[in-house]
Amino acid sequence: MDNKISGPLLNEGGPWGSGSGGGDSDGPKSPWSPRRKPDGKPGPSALDALIRRGRARLGGGGGGGSGPINFDFGGIGRWVVLAVILLWIALTSTHTIGPQQRGVVTRLGKYVSTLGPGLGFSLPAPLDIVTKLDVDNIHVIDIDGAGESNGGQNLMLTGDENILDLDYSVRWNIRDPELYMFELQDPDGTIKEVTESAMREAIARVSLNDAIGPQRGQIEARVAARAQELLDSYRSGVAIQGVAIKKADPPNAVMDAFKEVSAAQQMAQSYRNQAGAYATQVTARADGEAGAFDRVYAQYKLAPGVTRQRMYYETMEKVLAKTDKTIVEAPGITPYLPVLPAQKAPQGAAK
């Protein structure tokens, strides 16, 4: 079927039906006026003819095929459009905020207000956009040497110029939704860099032994306070909940040497402890002997002769107790002479 229209779209000599295309001068003056048929009866207007031709094309054209499509948006169509608009307004202007959430309202990109927990209202989208933020959720960022670019290590310099490999984590949550949403472009990256800076500052003030031993808790508290101070100066709206050091070891390249040095230090400390214990025992024994001597001297001053004789007997008793001889000084007493048993003659010996 050829849908190409040859010649004028409306064979009326002009848009209003007047011109030199035939017909009398009293013909139709507008496309809404009906045209005269050859028999003089009124026919369809030029606009009706144009609409009929368009419907014929959309419906398949010609006399055959389906009928023309009727584009009628009156009646129920208007109610459907109105219902869709009302539903859109209701859905985009009513918001349910959870107990742990806050809703940040922006109007054409500018901050307006913050919705608390419960049911909140705003202008329909796209005028107002509500962004829900979870302010009670604790986020955890691990800062360690697991990456291949740094050889799996996170090296820091201690106050005594030793190198330390640290793995730690930081816990945080949202304190101010407005500041968090508009002041930080990359919250995780900012918090990570701030915490790492605070950790390096804290490690640079302690020795290697303190960092891997007794002062670990103090370092964690100091880093958390310093990181919070820096984030507050950035107006980040973030609250640091804590910092936890998971590993604090020397670098892998010197781990064996460090273990040997640590073992030597532990052995030296053990020897010092043993020497201290022995010194304590000797000192206590010397103090006891000195106390006993003071008591004997006090008795000696009261009765010098008796005390001197008693000391002599006690001393001789201690000395002679270790010998196998008996000495009797009194006259007229024969000392005991033990007689050894006679030995038996060997068998077969001559008599």
pLDDT at 37 over 80: no
pTM comes to 0.51
**Residues 335, 326 contacting (CB under 8 angstroms):** yes
C-alpha span between 213 and 249 (Å, rounded): 10
Burial degree of 46 (CB within 10 A; 0-12, 13-18, 19+): buried
**pLDDT for res 18:** 45
CA distances from 60 to 6, 45, 65 (A): 19, 23, 6
pLDDT at 142 over 50: yes
- The two three-digit tokens of residue 3, written as one number: 């849908």
Question: Does an H or E element contain 120, and which?
Answer: strand 118-121
Give the mean pLDDT of 170-188: 89
- The two three-digit tokens of residue 296, written as one number: 């004997």
Find, among 158, 124, 254, 144, the residue nearest to 195 by Cα.
144
Q: Which tens digit of pLDDT belongs to each residue from 270-310?
A: 999 999 999 999 999 999 989 988 888 888 888 888 888 88
Query: Percent of the chain, pLDDT > 70?
Result: 70
**pLDDT for res 208:** 85
Q: Which tens digit of pLDDT belongs to each residue from 199-244?
A: 999 999 998 888 887 788 899 999 999 999 999 999 989 999 999 9
Give the mean pLDDT of 125-139: 87
**Best-predicted range by mean pLDDT among 111-120, 231-240, 318-327?**
231-240
**pLDDT for res 25:** 47
Give residue for tokens 């309202």. 105
Q: State the pLDDT confidence band at 22, using cuts at 50, 70 and 90.
A: very low
Give the mean pLDDT of 153-180: 88
C-alpha span between 270 and 91 (Å, rounded): 75
**CA atoms within 13 A of residue 79's CA, in its CB half-sphere:** 2
Query: Percent of the chain, pLDDT > 90?
Result: 22
Give residue for tokens 């949403």. 181
DSSP 8-class letter at 44: E
Cα angle vertex 41, ends 40, 43, to 5°? Answer: 120
Give the SS3 label for residue 113: strand
Q: Evaluate the omega torsion of the peptide bond into residue 335 and state whether it is cis, within 30 degrees of 0.
A: no
**Distance, C-alpha 279 to centroid of its chain:** 51
**pLDDT for res 298:** 86
Of residues 297 and 18, more confidence is placed in 297
